[in-house]
Amino acid sequence: MDPETHLALHQLRAADLRAQAEAHRLATEAKPPRALRSRVGWTLVELGLRLAASPRPALA
């Protein structure tokens, strides 16, 4: 294979890989943080369970 052709193919492939890596990086940055979502979700579950539980008698 001609060295110039080989170099051109290599440069095209490298540019394609860089574009894919950049797209992946942008996609991962756009995801909302799961830790906060999970924490809020479990807090809502706990609140719902407390509301659904039978009320305790008031202490005098």
**pTM, entire model:** 0.48
Could you tell me if residue 23 is inside a domain?
yes
pLDDT at 34 (0 to 100)? 76
Could you tell me if residue 57 is inside a domain?
no
Closest Cα to residue 26, out of 34, 18, 16?
A: 18
Q: What is the mean pLDDT of residues 30-49?
A: 86
When divided into structural domains, the chain yields a total of 1
pLDDT at 30 (0 to 100)? 76
* Residue 53 pLDDT > 90: no
* Percent of the chain's residues with pLDDT above 90: 55
Euclidean distance between CA atoms 31 and 24, whole angstroms? 11
C-alpha separations of 48 from 1, 10, 43, 44, 55 in Å: 69, 58, 9, 6, 13
Its domain, for residue 30, covers 3-51
